[in-house]
Amino acid sequence: MDRLEIEGGAPLRGEVQVSGSKNATLPALFATLLAPGVHHLRCVPDLRDIRTTFAVLRTLGVQVEMGARSRVQADASKVENFEAPYDLVRTMRASILALGPLVARHGKARVSLPGGCAIGARPIDQHLKALRALGAQIDLEHGYVNARAKRLTGARIVFDQVTVGGTEQAMMAAVLARGETVLENAAREPEISELAKILTSMGAKIDGAGDSVITISGVDELRPMDHAMAADRIEAGSFMVAAAMTRGDLLIRDCPANHLDAVIEKLREAGAQIETSGKGVRVRGPDRLQPVQITTAPYPGFPTDMQAQLMAACAIANGASVIRETIFENRYMHVPELVRMGADITVEGHTAVIRGVSSLSGAPVMASDLRAGVALVIAGLAARGKTVVNRVYHLDRGYEGIEKKLRKAGARIRRVRSRG
């Protein structure tokens, strides 16, 4: 298992380039199942989750290739298998997104139930509720979801809670349903708007994506997509925190600043100087960060995917910060690791109180999930001495060439490869 070794204390300087968005690319890849023909995607990040999605698509019969310059070609003309097996789904929960497109275009699907994950139980009841409302017959047996429908029929679906994946699932099913579908209490994340843009380019009729009510008029067939993925807002936000925490001066190229308002606001409150220009976003870190109060919430609120990184920053702020995690029940796995680096954090229920210390000290730590992992890397960049982040495979799920990008910006970081 690879690990990252970081010698802390070097400010991030110069420039860093943001890759295409992982969370927008995953549904886009599953949407290829909706139309026969050859689909083209550009600015696709080369990540473990993306390769897992390729594996799922190949199992189903889609011929998918990653070419040069982050281009992906997927031929979905011959989908001849309808099962996404446990071995793939368990490594990436988003595989459940195969369900909607398969049942919408092919009338049947069998996808393994994802089970829990490090950050909580993560049920899929809202996905199934939406598909049932559209007329799919759903059975759960032997750890699999079986879905069947001759043709889905439009319906009004009110989500019990805001869910990004559930909204994507319902959209991808409803685009080929007979009649109109109205999704209420839909997620408003930028990834939803991007999926709507992609589906619309394929011939779908969608109104209101980006708002909490989305209306979809089903069509009989769709054509292949040709789309360039937007930049990854969470990767960009992670670089922002790293620059702010290391007293850096970093230009983040292709930073989707308009999707990072809540993060930029908190970093400014903490004392970072942030300027937006045509080139990207420039972040300059203060001598000492100030404490902040953060509550995670669905978009446009503060993203849960940035909570761990901001907690790392709060750990060295000049005073006490409070963070409330409202999206996932078990998303404080990075806390004991940050404490090993000298942070003073107490957690009670969903609330973490972080009393800033003057500096963190490098230590061996373990990544428990994607965002917890990047928070530890960022903490290591700002800490005194050497930090070793183990279980880097979590980071490889969502950060393309992270050590190369950070090294180019002056970080002293290297990957140590090991087998097993």
Query: Which residues are tagged catalytic?
Result: 117
Residue with tokens 């943001």: 18
* Dist. CA 82–CA 137, nearest whole Å: 15
State how far the Cα of 74 lies from the Cα of 259, in Å rounded to an integer.
28
Minimal distance, residue 384 CB to ligand UD1, in Å: 31
Closest approach, Cβ 328 to ligand UD1, in A, equals 5
The CA distance from 87 to 73, in Å, is: 24
Residue nearest to ligand UD1 (CB): 165
Q: Is 207 in the site for ligand UD1 (CB under 6 A)?
A: no
What 3-state DSSP class applies to 209? Answer: strand
- In whole angstroms, what is the distance from residue 218 CA to residue 214 CA? 13
Torsion of CA 302, 306, 308, 313, to 10 degrees: -90
Q: Are the beta carbons of 253 and 280 closer than 8 angstroms?
A: yes
Q: Return the structure tokens found at 190.
A: 């930028």
- Least distance to ligand UD1, CB of residue 166, Å: 5
**β-strand partners of 207:** 215
What is the pattern of x (binds ligand UD1, CB under 6 A) and - over residues 18-57? -----x--x-------------------------------
d(CA 235, CA 370): 11
Q: Which of residues 290-349 bind ligand UD1 (CB under 6 A)?
A: 304-305, 327-328
Spatial CA neighbour of 347 closest among 371, 323, 319:
323
How many residues make contact with ligand UD1 (CB under 6 A)? Answer: 21
State which of positions 69-108 bind ligand UD1 (CB under 6 A).
94
Q: Mask: binding to ligand UD1, 176-205, rule CB under 6 A, as x and -?
A: -----------x---x--------------
> In 146-274, which ranges are continuous DSSP H helix?
164-174, 190-201, 233-245, 261-269
Question: In this chain, which of 87, 125, 211, 344 binds ligand UD1, going by CB under 6 A?
Answer: 125
Among 124, 149, 172, 177, binds ligand UD1 (CB under 6 A): 124
- Residue 332: which residues within 8 A CB-CB, separation 6 or more? 325, 347, 352
Which one, 161 or 258, has the nearer CB to ligand UD1?
Answer: 161
Q: Which of 11, 20, 166, 342 binds ligand UD1 (CB under 6 A)?
A: 166
**180: which strand partners?**
217
- The single residue among 21, 70, 126, 307 that binds ligand UD1, judged by CB under 6 A, is 126
- Using the minimum distance from each CB to ligand UD1, give the nearer residue, 160 or 275: 160
- Does residue 157 bind ligand UD1 (CB under 6 A)? no
The answer to whether 163 contacts ligand UD1 (rule: CB under 6 A) is yes
Beta strands 213-217 and 249-253 are: unpaired
Distance CA 188, CA 199 (A): 16
**Residue 161 binds to ligand UD1 (criterion: CB under 6 A):** yes
Is 170 near ligand UD1 (CB under 6 A)? no
Least spacing, CB of residue 173 vs ligand UD1, in Å: 14
Q: Which is nearer to ligand UD1, 362 or 398 (CB)?
A: 398
Which region among 121-129, 243-251, 306-314, 360-368 touches ligand UD1 (by CB under 6 A)?
121-129
Q: Does 122 bind ligand UD1 (CB under 6 A)?
A: yes
Rule CB under 6 A: say whether 143 interacts with ligand UD1.
no
Q: Tell me: cis bond preceding 123? Omega within 30 of 0 counts.
A: no
For binding to ligand UD1 (CB under 6 A), which residues are involved?
A: 23, 26, 94, 120, 122-127, 161, 163-166, 187, 191, 304-305, 327-328
